[in-house]
Chains A and B, each alone.
Chain A
Amino acid sequence: MQVEGDRLTVTGTDLELTIRLTVDVGGERDGAAVVPARLVGDIVKALPAGAVSVELHDDEMSISAGRSQFSVRPLSLDDYPAQSEPAADAVTLPAAMVADALRQVVRAASTDDARAVLTGVLLAADDDGLRMVATDSYRLAVRDLPGTSVMASGQSVLIPGRALNELQRVMGDVEELSVRLGDREATFEAGGTRLSTRLIEGEFPNYRNLLPSSYPNLLTVGKAAMLEAIRRVKILAQDSTPVRLTLGGDTVQLTAITQDVGNAAEEIDASYDGVEMTVAFNPDYLAAGIDAIDSDDVTLATMDPMKPAVLRGVGRDDYLYLLMPVRVP
């Protein structure tokens, strides 16, 4: 925590991700201290509404508000990692557009550190604009941002999904997002908040050959109705059992069977063009893909029950969600 004049800068880092926030305060004297983040955060959150007074003495920081008084022992200022300024040039993007794209893509990134490359979101530039891609090997989300340029055509970076989740949280309602992509680090600035993250090194899987140009079977269904049906049916999809979709005719039937517990079924209106089949999916992954789509109606395109299916919004070509089915007897 650093006070200069009437500005307080709060910086937190775990060496891979750094977030710096600047806010206006009533500063009486300039100074800096390193304090235990969670402890001080808990204290300030617990204080009654109103002004909070923070004073730094030689070996303690006092925090008070109303009749509450806390004192916390600061950590060594000299031991705090030095913060460097980003070197790369800044590109300004509409924050709402980036937030929408992140919301659609980051959900597909893996959280398993065992395959570090899959915990990242690929940002790849081509002549048409920017593409964001994430996958956890069971599903893959691709969002195109035509006309958006943050780096030279042909370049790409891999940004940790964890950092982009935090970015969504700190962006708030700002209108513009500043992006700087360096060789080893990416920096984002939104309002008074700066987020810097190390880039992930490694080769992102070649996902392009997973995206066939056409599928023989196409289901079209209302987004809200499908999400509601999944929400109900998955109550009986316990112990990692999938939800089965029976495709054919003017309806789609969703069923879930958990041995020795029970089963659930629901039928919703749909239009379907293709051969009759039953295909099964992890209900959470299926719902996450449908939820990410910005459209009232969604399409589910399939080859067969063992090949990946593609979810898209009707009339929207800028986003797709590829989902691997689950093998069922």
Chain B
Amino acid sequence: MRLVIARCSVDYSGRLDAHLPEATRLIMVKADGCVAIHADGGAYKPLNWMNAPNTLVDNGDQWVVTNPKQETLTITLHEVLSDVSEELGDDPGLQKDGVEAHLQELLAASPHAIEVGLTLVRREYPTAIGPIDLVCRDESDTVVAVEVKRRGEIDGVEQLTRYIERLKLDSSLGDIRGVFVAQVVKPQAKVLAESRGFRWVEVDYDELRGMKPDELRLF
């Protein structure tokens, strides 16, 4: 990871042209080739960035980053205030909430709890924007992308939408549909899921774990 704090201006040329006038910013160059230019605010979102794979040509006071689509990000360094590099090594990844991870594991073992006839293709199915919790096939062999949450809220539906967009880029998969699974799906998430054509399913964590409560129940 290389971190450069510099007074710089940035020009992006590609689908559109964009210019960041001269100001002091943080330039991040990640080991995988991603380049991001950050201001001192705005949480995680950079002002401009270029995802890997790309090539960075360092001309001293000017860096030119080019991706395979020939889009370019030209960073002109007027004054370098700090320039540090550090080897971060492999990242262990985001540790999910224990219940959520266990729920995913249990559903991978029993996909029929989501839908009758569902068979697992792969858990943590990889895509360029992150792994999909479960990818299954239904009785008619249609690919089913499953997003698993402990509490089903609209950001989970948005996440499933993005995953399905990625999967649809692979024409070999054929038709793809989405199922949003949670212990509780919030009303807004149900509406959004249905409007996107997804099914939503509420599952009982205790039942999946095979827990038989001591109490006698009516249902």
Contact = CB atoms under 8 A, between A and B. Distances in A.
A43 to B, nearest CB: 31
A280 to B, nearest CB: 10
Interface string A84-127: 00000000000000000000000000000111100000000000
B218 A201 contact: no
Contacts of B183: 114
B131 interface: no
Interface string A191-213: 00000001001000101001000
A15 B215 contact: no
B217 A138 contact: yes
Interface residues of A, number: 23
Contacts of B185: 116
Given A115-B204, A116-B202, A324 B187 contact: no
Contacts of A308: 218
Interface residues of B, number: 15
Contacts of A201: 187, 190
A190 interface: no
Interface in B2-39: none
Contacts of A327: 214-216
Nearest to B203: A114
Contacts of A113: 184
A24 interface: no
B219 to A, nearest CB: 5
B85 interface: no
Interface in A199-247: 201, 205, 207, 210
Contacts of B215: 138, 324, 326-327
Looking at B187, B188, B204, B217, the one whose CB has the most chain A CB atoms below 10 A away is: B187
Contacts, number: 43
B184 A114 contact: yes
B218 A135 contact: yes
Nearest to A198: B187
A140 interface: yes
B217 A137 contact: yes
Nearest to A115: B204
B184 A140 contact: no
A116 B190 CA distance: 12
Interface string B73-90: 000000000000000000
25 contacts: A15-B188, A16-B187, A113-B184, A114-B184, A114-B204, A114-B205, A115-B204, A135-B218, A137-B217, A137-B219, A138-B217, A138-B218, A139-B218, A201-B190, A205-B219, A207-B218, A306-B216, A322-B218, A324-B215, A324-B216, A324-B218, A325-B216, A326-B215, A326-B216, A327-B215
Interface of A: 15-16, 113-116, 135, 137-140, 198, 201, 205, 207, 210, 306, 308, 322, 324-327
Given A114-B205, A210-B218, A326-B216, 6 more contacts: A113-B184, A114-B183, A114-B184, A207-B218, A324-B216, A326-B215
